[in-house]
A and B are shown apart, each in its own frame.
Chain A
Amino acid sequence: MAIFHRRNYRRRLILVALLVGSLVLITLDFRRGPESSQVRAGLLVVVQPISAGVTGAIRPVQNFFGSLGKGNHLKARNEALQRQVEKLQKVEVDKKRLEAENKDLRETANYRGATGYSYVTARVVGVPATNFDWSLTIDAGADERVASGNPVLAGQGLIGRVIDVSPRGAKVMLLADPQSSVGVRDERSGVTGVVTGQSTGPLRLEFVDANADVKVGDIFVTSGFDKSRFPANLTVGKVTSIEKESSGLVLSADVLPVEPMHDFVSVMMWNSNS
């Protein structure tokens, strides 16, 4: 009987210890917000290599499941990419010419230049794994000078920002995350607003005057205002519907990202350290 009671006591002690541990972690981490906390960054250093190791081991299976039912999509994607390569080859020629011209002009004007950006290409090694998660894991990290807050791009558009970094990996909060918000500008009319994530649905454009010049089909890009997380002119999405709020003072709109959120095999990152 005494042994039974002792076991019961120990069992409850373990439960209480684990629950208290969880609550302490929630409190510590929540106070820091989604950006990297020391605790999270430390734990990611331990967990990320294990995850990456398993991912590497099961890559062929992952590729198989990832390509299931995407035959037609892949063919169309392949054609689109081939067209894009041809276009980019032409752009590359223009770029070299413009760089040379720019260098000459800077030397002539004795211009020192502002902070630029460099790109790091990364492979997506993890997509949202639970119903509450709207993040990606990529295989580029601090070793490649990736830092928390870096914008993450895929194809033509912005898809999110880095929130946690380990030496060889990073976690990206997608624009679809309800905690994500971006200052944006209508490329056509210059109207500004804020786009927030809505998990499964399109992004939501808010804080726009009811009489503002916003039309269905307009492309919104990052505003790049002072203290903004993102540089200006990164494509965020296209307006698909507009509605006036009941107050009649402001309007809101659905904004569809230019790239689908879950089909990436790589992302491009902007570093602000060049």
Chain B
Amino acid sequence: MGRWIVIPLMTFVAAAIQVALLAMLPVFGAHAGLVLLLVVAVAIFVGPEWAAVAGFMGGLMLDILGVLPLGLTALSFTLVGFVVGEVVQRMDRTPDFGFQLALVVGASVVGELIVLGLVLTLGQGMRGVTPITIVVTAVYNCLLAAIFLRPLGRVLATRGRGAM
């Protein structure tokens, strides 16, 4: 199976699991971001353009299943995926695991801040998101990454072949 099938499929499944399962496990009001984790994994193991595509699709699916204006999370995840992919591509080799986790934390914080900025711009207030929520989300995503990032990387490296 090529990337054209594997990455969209994984993105849809990640979004559905985030909505159906991880949504039931908030920690101090913070929700885990499996879709964002997948976007970062694609950025690290595949490349920035595919990360942007995965970010757009995954973000759009979360927007459709939520109440935020369509395209808001998609915009945030597209940017985050692309930037993380660019950072990784400027390195000569695949970053070590510690740096990968740091990328997940950074992507979580930046992703949440972009959505928050857009939500504030559209006059919808903070929607209950506080600095603590953003920090807890980043830590939560980091823990998820410690478990799932390597398996995701293996799948993407072996199944996600083929050029865009």
**Interface residue ranges, A against B (CB under 8 Å):** 10-11, 14-15, 18-19, 21-26, 28-30, 34, 37, 39-40, 43-44, 47-48, 50-51, 53-55, 58, 61-62, 65-66, 125-135, 137, 163, 171, 173, 176-179, 198-201
B70 contacts A58, C-beta separation under 8 Å: no
Q: Which residues of A contact B22 (CB under 8 A)?
A: 129
- Docked-complex contact A126 and B65, CB < 8 angstroms: yes
Q: A11-B49, A25-B74, A132-B119 are in contact. Are A177 and B67 (CB under 8 A)?
A: yes
How far is B49's CA from A260's CA once the two chains are assembled, in angstroms?
A: 43
Tell me which residues across on chain A come within 8 A of B53, comparing CB atoms: 14, 18
Partner of B33, one of A18, A21, A51, A130: A130
A163 CA to B68 CA in the complex, in Å?
Answer: 12
Interface residues of B, count at CB 8 A: 59
A50 with B12: CB separation less than 8 A: yes
The 7 A-B pairs with the shortest beta carbon distances in the complex, nearest first, are A199-B128, A25-B71, A54-B16, A22-B75, A133-B66, A29-B70, A129-B23
CB distance from A226 to the nearest CB of B (A): 27
Given the contacts A25-B70, A51-B65, A131 and B24 also touching, CB distance less than 8 Å: no
Question: Is the CB–CB distance between A51 and B67 below 8 Å?
Answer: no
Residues of A contacting B129 in the complex (Cβ-Cβ under 8 angstroms): 131-132, 199
Name 19 interchain pairs, CB-CB below 8 A, sorted by A: A15-B78, A18-B52, A18-B55, A18-B56, A18-B74, A26-B75, A29-B71, A48-B65, A54-B16, A55-B19, A65-B21, A65-B24, A131-B112, A131-B134, A132-B68, A132-B129, A163-B67, A177-B67, A199-B127
Which residues, 102 to 134 on B, are CB-close (under 8 Å) to A? Answer: 112, 115-116, 118-119, 122, 124-129, 133-134
Q: Are A125 and B20 in contact (CB under 8 A)?
A: yes
B residues at A contact (CB < 8 Å): 12-13, 15-25, 29-31, 33, 48-49, 52-53, 55-56, 59-75, 78-79, 82, 112, 115-116, 118-119, 122, 124-129, 133-134, 137, 164
Q: Residues of B contacting A163 with CB < 8 Å?
A: 67
Inter-subunit contact B127/A135 (CB<8 Å): no
A58 touches B20 (CB 8 A): yes
- Closest B residue by C-beta to A31: B69
Bound: A14/B48 CA distance, A: 10
Please pick, from A22, A127, A173, the residue contacting B67 in the complex, using a CB distance under 8 A: A173
Residues on B with C-beta less than 8 A from A130 are 31, 33, 62, 66, 68, 73, 115
Minimal Cβ-Cβ distance residue in B for A201: B128
Q: Are B74 and A22 in contact (CB under 8 A)?
A: yes
User: Are B71 and A21 neighbours in the complex by a CB distance under 8 Å?
Assistant: yes
Nearest-Cβ distance from residue A40 to partner chain B, whole angstroms: 6
Most buried by B among A18, A50, A130: A130
A61 proximity list for chain B (CB < 8 A): 21
Residue of B nearest to A10 (CB): B49
Which of A14, A34, A133, A198 has the most chain B CB within a 10 Å cutoff? A133
Q: A76 vs B66: C-alpha distance in the bound complex, in angstroms?
A: 31
The answer on a CB contact under 8 Å between B67 and A134 is yes
Q: Which of A14, A53, A129, A201 contacts B65 (CB 8 A)?
A: A129
Given A18-B78, A28-B70, decide whether A47 and B21 contact each other with a Cβ distance below 8 A.
no
Q: Contact between B16 and A50 (Cβ–Cβ < 8 Å)?
A: yes
> Which residue of A is nearest B78, CB measured?
A18
Q: Are A128 and B70 in contact (CB under 8 A)?
A: no
CA distance A52 to B129 in the complex (A): 27
Instruction: Find out whether the CB atom of A39 lies under 8 angstroms from the CB atom of B70.
Output: yes
Point out the residue from A18, A26, A51, A198 that lies within 8 Å of B19, measured CB to CB: A51
Cα separation A179 to B67 with both chains bound (whole Å): 10
CA of A11 to CA of B89 in the docked complex: distance in angstroms?
12
Residue of B whose beta carbon sits closest to that of A199: B128
Q: How far is the CA of A43 from the CA of B71 in the complex (A)?
A: 12
For A131, list chain B residues within 8 Å (CB). 29-31, 112, 127-129, 133-134, 137
Contact across chains for A11 and B23 when beta carbons are under 8 A apart: no
Q: A11-B49, A135-B67 are in contact. Are A54 and B78 (CB under 8 A)?
A: no
